[in-house]
Amino acid sequence: MLDRKYILENAAAVKENCLNRGNDSDIDQLVHLENRRRVKMTESQDFNRQANEKSKLIGKAPAEEREALKEQARTLREQKDTAQKEHDALDQQILEIQNRIPNMSHPAAPIGIDDKANLELRKSDCQPREFDFPVLDHVDLGSQLDLFDFEGGARVAGSGFYFLKNDAVLLELALQQYALRLLIDDGFTPVTTPDLATTEILNGTGYIPRGPETQIYSIENSNLNLVATAEITIGGLLAGQTLTAETLPVRICGTSHCFRTEAGAHGKASRGLYRVHQFTKVEMFAFTLPEQSEQMLEHFCELECRLFEGLEIPFRVVDTATGDLGGPAYRKYDLEAWMPGRGTSGEYGEVTSTSNCTDFQARRLNVRYKTKGEKGTRFVHTLNGTAIAISRAMIALLENHQQADGSVNIPEALRPWIGKDRIEP
C-alpha cells in the first residue's frame, strides 16, 4: 500500500506509474475523496472536542444545570457520530482504491506492459550444454528413473499434485539442505514456518485470498489460508512490531510448502512439475532500513546466482518490466534457468525471483523501526527472494545433467546430502 499523503502530493507520478504497470486505479477519484475525508475528520474531531468539554462541566455543575448540559453534549455527540459515519464511508472507498494501487517502480526498471519487455542483465558462467543425444524432458526422465507419480497425486488430490519417489525425495531434501546451508553461512536466521496464515497477514503481504481470481487456497469456516510462499509467513512474523534501527537488517530464511490454485493458468506451460499446486521452497526474506534495501536486493540476487552456479545449471538474470512486477515490488529480478527439455530445443524458465518491496508491505503489515534520539517511527523496507523452489530447480537439474544412457549426474554440491553421484534406473 502506498502512503496516502504521498499519493496526494505525487498524484501525477503515481498515475504515470499505474499506466506503466497496466493498472487502472482512479487516482483523481482518490484525491477527491481524500480531500473530503480530511474535512469530515476535522469536523468530527471538533464536535467531539466540544462534547468532551461539556461532559467535563457536568460533574462540577449545580444539579439544576445538568440536564441542559447533558442535552447539549448529547446533541454534539450525535453531530460527531454523523460526521464520523460520513468519514468512515469515505475512508472505506479510499481504501478500496488505495489497496489496488501498485508500488512505485525503480527508475531503472524497464518500462513495458509484460515480460517481453524484461531486460536481460547477465548470464551464468555455466553455459548450456551441447547434447550429442536426443534430449528428454524431466517428465520422461522422471518416468524412466521412477522419480514421480503424477497419476497417484491426481488420484489423491487432483491434477497438479504429485508424489516424489525414490531419489527425487532425497533430491528435495538435498536441495533444501544445500540452500539453507549457504544462507545460514551468509548470516540468515533459518526458520520453518506455518504453512497456513490468516487472511490479514495475506492481505498485509499483498496477497488477495477469496476472490474469484485468487491463487490462494482457503480453509472453510476459518480465516486461515494455505500459504503461497513463506514470504507470507516470514513477512507476517514481525507484523505490528516496532524494531530498533540498530537491529536492522533482519534476515530470515525459511523453508515451507507453497500452495497455489493456479486459477486461469491452464494452457500455459504446465507439463510435469513446472506449474503445480504444491511445492517446497526455501525463501529468503529481509527487513531493512530504507537506505539498505537496494543493496540487499543485489545481494539476494547474488545469492540466487551463487546457488544455481553451484548446481551447475545455466541461467540468466532479467530485470522485470514494470507491467510484470505485480503489486508490491518496486524492483524485481527473475532468475531463469535453462531447461533443455522445454519447447522444441530448450527454453529459459523462471526458477527464482527476488523483489524489493520498499515500504509497500511494511505499511500494511505495520512493521516499523525507531531510530534512537529521533521522534516517531518509520516503516522498514521488506525484500523477498527465492533461494530454491524445489519443483522447478528439479526440472532444471534433471534436464541439464541428463546423460546419454538415461541417467542423471548429481552436481558435486549436492552429493554430500544424497550419498551418490548419479541417479540411475
Partner RNA sequence: GGAUGGGUGGCCGAGUGGACGAAGGCGGCAGUCUUGAAAACUGCUGUACCCUUACGGGUACCCUGGGUUCGAAUCCCAGCCCAUCCGCCA
**Binds RNA by CB under 7 A, chosen from 26, 46, 195, 262:** 46
Q: Rule CB under 7 A: say whether 36 interacts with RNA.
A: no
Spatial CA neighbour of 367 closest among 262, 226, 252: 252
**Cell digits of residue 261:** 490454485
Residue nearer to RNA on the CB measure, 187 or 373: 373
Contact status, residue 229 vs residue 357, Cβ threshold 8 Å: no
Which position among 251, 260, 363, 364 bears the catalytic label? 260
Q: Rule CB under 7 A: say whether 266 interacts with RNA.
A: no
**Binds RNA by CB under 7 A, chosen from 10, 23, 52, 292:** 52
Spatial CA neighbour of 300 closest among 231, 203, 232: 231
Q: How buried is 36 (Cβ within 10 angstroms: 0-12 exposed, 13-18 middle, 19+ buried)? A: middle
Spatial CA neighbour of 288 closest among 257, 315, 252: 252
Q: Rule CB under 7 A: say whether 55 interacts with RNA.
A: yes
Residue type, 190: P
Active site residue 353: yes
- Tell me how far, at minimum, the Cβ of 52 lies from RNA, in Å: 4
Active site residue 155: no
The 10 Å Cβ neighbour count of residue 85 is: 12
**Cell digits of residue 118:** 524484461
Q: Rule CB under 7 A: say whether 415 interacts with RNA.
A: no
**Binds RNA by CB under 7 A, chosen from 54, 299, 392, 401:** 54
Q: Which stretch binds RNA (CB under 7 A): 67-75, 180-188, 276-284, 354-362?
A: 67-75
The 10 Å Cβ neighbour count of residue 192 is: 10
Q: Rule CB under 7 A: say whether 11 interacts with RNA.
A: no
Active site residue 275: yes
Active site residue 100: no
Contact status, residue 334 vs residue 315, Cβ threshold 8 Å: no
Q: Rule CB under 7 A: say whether 144 interacts with RNA.
A: no
> What are the start-end ranges of the H helices in 198-266?
199-205, 230-237
Distance of CA 200 to the CA centre of its chain: 14
- Tell me how far, at minimum, the Cβ of 104 lies from RNA, in Å: 18
Q: Which stretch binds RNA (CB under 7 A): 35-43, 314-322, 329-337, 406-414?
A: 35-43
**Binds RNA by CB under 7 A, chosen from 36, 38, 165, 181:** 38
Rounded alpha-carbon distances, angstroms, from residue 280 to 135, 170, 256, 258, 410: 26, 13, 6, 6, 20
**Binds RNA by CB under 7 A, chosen from 58, 126, 248, 289:** 58
Q: What sign does the CA torsion over 255, 304, 237, 329 have?
A: negative
**Binds RNA by CB under 7 A, chosen from 28, 65, 74, 246:** 74
Active site residue 392: yes
Residues at the interface with RNA (CB under 7 A): 5, 38, 41-42, 45-46, 48-49, 51-56, 58-59, 70, 73-74, 77, 368, 370, 375-377
Catalytic residue positions, numbered? 260, 275, 350, 353, 392
